[in-house]
Amino acid sequence: MLLYTLKSEVKESINYEINLKKTIGLVPTMGALHQGHLSLLKHAIIACDVVWVTIFVNPTQFNNKNDLNNYPKNIDKDLKMISKISKNVNIFYPEISEMYNSKLKSEVYDFENLDKELEGKYRNNHFNGVGTIVAKLFELFKPNKAFFGEKDFQQTRIINKLIEIKGYKTKLIVCPTVREKNGLALSSRNNLLSLKNKEKASVIYNKLVYAKENYLKIPFKIIYANCKKEINSITGFELEYLEIVHNETLKKENIIDLNKSYRIFICVLVNDVRLIDNILVK
């Protein structure tokens, strides 16, 4: 297992791998790794000749300084977790200055309003930050395949659009969400929850399942009201949004068309820790 901190070192290794016609797989992360990240890594190892994991907390995708400052970090634990899966994985762990030089600013992209829905309504400029760092990584690694989790489904739609905008040859692989036994989607932010709140957070997935089972039977306004009442009755919990949207455009539609595919998205704040999840309904 090799650890790189400089882009120049990575470029040299990538050029060598490209000359050998190796299939390059990229697993971008912000560290604080969990079994969801390791699932992405396992998929990449199966599908690719060479696998790179990046560990970088990207400041330009945070619109809340407290969220950035409180984001969990544990590089030593991350490296141990990766090594248990494979000792042949390459790791890129750069400083902020290495990725942004003196210009700590995100690019502005036309994501055709994909960035204006759901998380985009509450996190100003978040997806421009995501697009900026993913573009930097794709241009550095030139990956054949990049692996992201379904939990961040809106992000995967944004990255697909970025690939289209930039003309990258990278294939985006979306891997299934990995969950706790109680249904809570694994997230690095779960580390910020108390054990009691982590158990109580099972309500998030439970309400997604409830919404999926009833969206054709009950008006969605009533589903939303029922979910909000139950979630907000838990001390420290607040439902920020619960929406059923078109699976591709992420837009709400007034009438459900049985010939189309939909997905339900949810965001719950637990003592200001932001937890998101989603479920495919059709």
Which active-site residues does the annotation give?
37
Pairing of strands 273-280, 90-92: unpaired
Q: In what order do the strands lie in the sheet with 262-270?
A: 237-246, 262-270, 273-280
Hey, is 67 helix, strand or coil? helix
Q: Is the dihedral of CA 204, 207, 211, 213 positive or negative?
A: positive
Cβ 184 vs Cβ 200: under 8 Å? no
Q: At 162, list the tokens.
A: 């970025």
Cβ 50 vs Cβ 17: under 8 Å? yes
Q: Quote the CA–CA distance of 2 and 5 in Å, as a whole number.
A: 10
- Tell me the residue type at 176: P
Hey, is 85 helix, strand or coil? helix
Q: Quote the CA–CA distance of 148 and 125 in Å, as a whole number.
A: 20
Q: Is the dihedral of CA 202, 207, 208, 210 positive or negative?
A: positive
Q: Quote the CA–CA distance of 260 and 250 in Å, as a whole number.
A: 12
Cβ 32 vs Cβ 73: under 8 Å? yes
**111 Cβ contact partners less than 8 Å away, ≥ 6 residues apart:** 127, 131, 158, 161, 162
R_g of the chain computed on alpha carbons: 19
